[in-house]
Amino acid sequence: MSNKGKSQDEALNNENSKSTNSFYHEENSVKLDGSAHDLLQFRDCCESLREFIKNTWQRKKSQEKINASQFAFLMISIKELNRRTQFRIRKSREITAENKNKVDQLHLGLQNLLYEVAHLENEIQTCLEFRSRHEDIKLIPVEEFYEKTGRKVGSLSEHQETLERLHWELEQRKALSDSCDKLKSAVESTSQTIKKKRNYLASFGPKLKDVAESTLIIQELMDLPFTNENEQYNLAFLLPSPLYILYSLLKSYISMSGSSENFFI
């Protein structure tokens, strides 16, 4: 047996003596970047296996002894390369799955950030489109505001200036509201006073009528035609304007002439 055959037998014995721990150690020792080297070894093993099968067929015809250890060595080498390839594939899948999970997490984080950005953009747009009620309020002009408050023009920012004008407007409206309430109270009090006086004056009518009726006898005795003249005045108000003027002139003439005759329309 040649030296090559002996080395193959030794390699076969070493391969068979591997334990379970060495199996897992081999799995852990497989590197992902060694696939090109394993491919070259696999091609060499396949070429050697083809050559061995060819030689074995020729030896079988010539009834020569076949070296089975070399065949076993080649098969074990191919199995080892296949096993290492499977280990490498498993590791690649695990790394791929791990990286995929990382990518998914990053993508999820990106989606959350994009959603938050969209939400903030919507909030910003809402704030930009917001129309405050103070824009519909007619505020004091800026120049007049600075003049009345005694401040220097431009000493406040636009925002602070608007706030100060709104505060000033609020104070002015409060003062006007208080004045309005006081005026309403005064008007109400005056209305009550006028109502009382009207009621008091209205109570004189029946009393004066009673007094006038009680003086009729005295008027007749003293020849004082106050009641008749009053009735004539009331009837004269019903006359048209030209006739009323004529009546007034005639009445004045009778009063000045001293005639005691009654005058009737």
176 or 50, which is more confident: 176
Four-residue CA torsion sign, 72, 75, 78, 79:
negative
74 contact partners, CB below 8 Å, separation of at least 6:
45, 48, 49, 52
* Per-residue pLDDT at 128: 83
- Are 15 and 76 spatial neighbours (Cβ–Cβ below 8 Å)? yes
- Token code pair at residue 174: 């409060």
Predicted confidence (pLDDT) at residue 81 exceeds the cutoff of 50: yes
pLDDT tens digits for 229-244?
Answer: 667 777 777 788 888 8
Report residue 220's pLDDT band, with 50, 70 and 90 as the boundaries.
low
pTM (whole model) above 0.75:
no
What number is the average pLDDT over the span 144-151? 76
Predicted confidence (pLDDT) at residue 15 exceeds the cutoff of 70: no
Four-residue CA torsion sign, 14, 19, 22, 26:
positive
Measured distance CA(79)–CA(42) in Å, rounded: 10
Measured distance CA(163)–CA(160) in Å, rounded: 5
Predicted confidence (pLDDT) at residue 107 exceeds the cutoff of 90: yes
CA-based diameter of the chain, in Å? 192
* Per-residue pLDDT at 223: 61
pLDDT tens digits for 151-198?
Answer: 777 677 777 877 888 888 888 889 999 999 999 999 999 999 999 988
pLDDT tens digits for 109-140?
Answer: 999 999 999 999 999 999 888 777 666 677 77
For 43-55, the DSSP string reads HHHHHHHHHHHHH
**DSSP summary character for residue 135:** G
